[in-house]
Structure 1
Amino acid sequence: MGSSTRRSLLLGAAATLATPSLLRAQQADYSPRAVPDPVETRRNLSSFERIDWREHFESLGVATIICDTTSRALHFWNGTGTDYRLYPTSVPMTDELTRRGYTEIVRKRVGPTWTPTQAMRERDPTLPDFMEAGPGNPLGTHAMYLSWPAYLIHGTHDTRKIGRRSSSGCIGLYNEKIAELFAITPVGTQVRVI
């Protein structure tokens, strides 16, 4: 048997063995609705769904952000609707820590400092009273403060948190993504957390 015949035979056998796996992969339902219970099994996977801002606001205002805690995504539209962006996020650890409703961006800060709330310190007494900006700071490189006290949209140095229930109430983004969002989001941007 020649080397080209053996090679053809081996390639044919490999293709035959792989066919059932390929068929199963093509027939699998990968839609967001097919993902199992998100609380129990999802890790860093977001099942993004496109959202229409008109379902939540009467106008775009100076800009609009919708934070979807179910799909773990932040949707941004500029004031003219010509710039739409979608970012993966971290979301609060529990429903009790999740505040939903309408708010707005009231201030922004590069290199935010962090002061854990009393409730955070009660849950974890090892937290510091205060933390300067820097690599260990859980607010990452940029923060946008909401009109709700102690709620922010901010970065994170711990990239494992994105796509997970991992915050004490805030919405977290990769540092590169919060820097991008920070640059295009004016103070006064309307925000809805759903």
Structure 2
Amino acid sequence: MLMNSLFGSDGSQGRSYQTRRQAAPLPRGYGRSAAPVPGRRQAYAPSRAPSRGFDPRFERRVVNYATSERPGTIVIDKSAKYLYLVQPGGKAIRYGVGVGRPGFQWRGTYNITRKAEWPGWTPPAEMKQRQPWLPDHMEGGPANPLGARAMYIGSTLYRIHGTNEPWTIGQEISSGCIRLRNEDVIHLYNQVKVGAKVTVI
């Protein structure tokens, strides 16, 4: 089983925007084996494998959410282990997340500066020092700990990304990144534009 994610340093807000497009789906039978990165014509079929203790409190759902933030803003509540995508009319889409373990937590307001499908992963030097068995680089795919999608936060090394360990959702588990189940990070990725505001509380 691969390693916990990730990274960090302070960063500035990105302000460029791009046209929203649908992202490539997960491969059929995801999670049974290390499969190639999927083509765009492959359909997503959620794994039928046991959830290994995934807590149903962290299922994606629409909830009432009173906030002064504009629709399209991402609010991450680290203590509750939820990410909220603000919607019109006092609503939000709520996703369960895994967050940084003690000593790797942070707060602040940033912007999404980049998005990637099936991102590659290069562990930073400080992580390699803590975990010298990590690879120098791993190409994107189902075995990659960044999962199916990544959204990059400011100029930091932090990301909102998927995970190949969905049972870790709801835990303080990472080196600072925010992780979602792959089906949830794909759903979020398809809603969010580069430039979207991200507030971590």
Q: Please, what TM-score do these two structures have when normalized by structure 2?
A: 0.66
* Residue identity (%): 38
Q: Check conservation: 1:46, 1:163, Cα contact below 8 A.
A: no
Choose which of 67, 71, 74 in structure 2 pairs with 1:65. 74
Counterpart position of 2:193: 186
Task: Say which structure, 1 or 2, has more relative contact order (CA 8 Å, 6+ apart).
Answer: 2
| 1:173 pairs with one of 180, 183, 194 | 180
Instruction: Sort the Cα spacing of 1:50 and 1:120 in 2 relative to 1 into closer, same or farther, 3 A.
Output: farther
Say whether the 8 Å CA contact 2:120–2:144 is kept in structure 1.
yes
Query: Are residue 74 (structure 1) and residue 83 (structure 2) matched?
Result: yes
Letter in 2 for 1:89: V
**Pairing partner for 2:111 from 81, 100, 104:** 104
Deviation at 1:50? 6.4
| d(CA) in 1 for partners of 2:121, 2:64 | 33
Is 2:65–2:91's contact at 8 Å kept on the other side of the alignment?
A: no
C-alpha distance in 2 between matches for 1:50 and 1:83: 5
Write 1 or 2 for the structure with the bigger share of helix: 1
Q: Partner of 1:169: helix, strand, or coil?
A: coil
Q: 1:148-191: per-residue Cα shift (whole Å, max 9, x none)?
A: 42100000011121111111110000000000000011111101
| TM-score calculated relative to the size of structure 1 | 0.68
Task: Encode CA deviations 1:112-147: one digit per residue, 9 max, x unaligned.
Answer: 001111121121111111110012211000000010
- Aligned match of 2:168 in 161, 175, 181? 161
TM-superposed CA distance for 1:52, in Å, is 3.0
- The residue type paired with residue 126 of structure 1 is W
Look up the match of 1:85: 93
Letter of the 1:160 counterpart: W
Give the number of the structure whose alpha-carbon radius of gyration is greater: 1
Secondary structure of 1:129's counterpart equals coil
Give 5+ residue unaligned stretches, structure 2. Answer: 1-52
Q: Give the Cα–Cα distance (whole angstroms) in 2 for the partners of residues 122 and 81 of structure 1.
A: 47
2: CA distance, partners of 1:83 / 1:108? 24
Of 53, 67, 73, 1:53 maps to: 67
Counterpart-to-counterpart distance in 2, 1:44 and 1:193? 23
> For the structure 1 residues 167 and 118, does the alpha-carbon distance in structure 2 shift closer, same or farther, using more than 3 Å as the test?
same
Deviation at 1:83, TM superposition (A): 5.8
Number of aligned residue pairs: 145
Q: Secondary structure at the match of 1:140?
A: coil
Gaps of at least 5 residues in structure 1 are 1-42
- Root-mean-square deviation over aligned CA pairs: 2.3
User: 2:175, 2:65 → 1: CA distance?
Assistant: 25
2:189, 2:90 → 1: CA distance?
17
